[in-house]
Structure 1
Amino acid sequence: MKICFATNNVNKLNEIQQLLPEGLTLVSLQEIGCTEELREDQLTLEGNSHQKAEYVFQKYNIPCFADDTGLEVFALDGEPGVYSARYAGEGRNNEDNISLLLKKLESFDNRGAQFRTVITLIAEGNIKQFEGVVKGEVIREKAGGDGFGYDPVFKPEGYDKTFAQMTMAEKNEISHRGIAVRKLVDYISTHYKS
């Protein structure tokens, strides 16, 4: 089965490609000829992932899934949440987002947080959503050079290193995206033949 992952994020594509079983061919937006920026203007992770998957499915007529991920910090009432990628403003980058987050958390002892991913699959007229959550905390200084996004400041529960200090295989074992993708893969394997 050929399925499109509605993202232009090479890191996400590589991460998910490693989790897919044989018989599932992952194609990118570029490979199906989709060069436009997909809109993400919903107020929830669920809404954004659905919006992207539906657009690609309708326009390119290919089974498709899309994800949206947010870091939800409890002391900040769930910020940055759905705005995680553009927390420091449009045109900002990961460094700016991390700097703003650490600044906002300076006076807090409670640094508990969770990463949450929601994936929407649209295939053969069916729409299904899958969620993955990993709890942990935001540390005070960046640690590690791998990963992307907030990985250098997020330490998952039960571990003494950040996502950015883990190998991709280690991270995939426990990450929010890994959990959601495994649910997606289980569903596809059960309901769709390659």
Structure 2
Amino acid sequence: MPRAFTEHRIVVASHNPGKIREIRNLLTPLGIKVQAADKLGLIEPEETGKTFLENADLKARAAATASGIAALADDSGLCVDALQGAPGIYSARWAGPDKDFALAMAEIERKLDGAPSAAHFTCALSLAWPDGHVENVEGIIEGRLRFPPKGTRGFGYDPIFVPHGYDISFGEMDPENKLAINHRAIAFKKMLKACFDRAN
């Protein structure tokens, strides 16, 4: 049986403002105080995992151990079918040290060179307690890539990703609408069902 989350505060083990904002918006209605890892002075661990789940797990464990507070970590990225799943777990690294996602999106367009652009976003969520217990879930949303990038309302690869059933990119979508359907929301719903007894 998954462990129920009964605490009233949680650390989001991320230094990405966009991810922190989305997770805060998902958790706040539950009456949970969200604290960002960077505000607590927590150092980002090296992501040595080979999968999204492995990276989310290690980040959550590191934050929970360092803070003494339950921690929620996200590892997510864009997987392009024609690029054998790249950039995948290296999605952030493709943007370079300056987090230049315009550069990363241009590189994807160059590598595709007109090839079919089926793609999906994956989000792994790990919830870790200071005693070492961890719960893991994963969410995926399918779609396609569209160039040139459009929209400034999201972050990362949002301007080129058009989810199935829509004709606008995540970057063009109202943030509330995106948050209701995206890969993070899908994973979060699984986590709510598994661990957050107040949502059952």
Q: Which runs of 5 or more structure 1 residues have no equivalent in the other structure?
A: none
Q: Percent identity?
A: 34
Cα distance in 2 between the residues matched to 1:180 and 1:190: 16
Match of 2:31 in 1: 23
Which of 47, 52, 75 lines up with 2:54 in the alignment?
47
Q: Report the alpha carbon displacement of residue 22 of structure 1 after superposing the two structures with TM.
A: 2.8
CA distance in 1, matches of 2:195, 2:11: 13
Alignment of 1:34-183 (within 5 A): 34=42, 36-87=43-94, 89-108=96-115, 110-123=116-129, 125-183=132-190
User: C-alpha distance in 2, partners of 1:77/1:189?
Assistant: 35
Over 3 Å off, 4+ runs: 88-92
SS in 1 for 2:60: helix
Superposition CA RMSD, Å:
1.8
- Does the C-alpha gap of structure 1 residues 119 and 70 become closer, same or farther in structure 2, counting only changes over 3 Å? same
TM value normalised by structure 2: 0.88
> Alpha-carbon deviations, 1:94-143, whole Å to 9, x = none?
111111011111230x2100000001111254211111110000112111
TM-superposed deviation, 1:144: 1.0
Number of residues of Structure 1 aligned to a counterpart in Structure 2: 190
**Structure 2: 5+ residue stretches without partners:** 1-7
Cα deviation for residue 189 of structure 1 reads 2.0
The CA deviation at 1:77 is: 0.6
Aligned to 2:3: none
Determine helix, strand or coil for the equivalent of 2:55. helix
Contact 2:30 2:198 in 1 (8 A): no
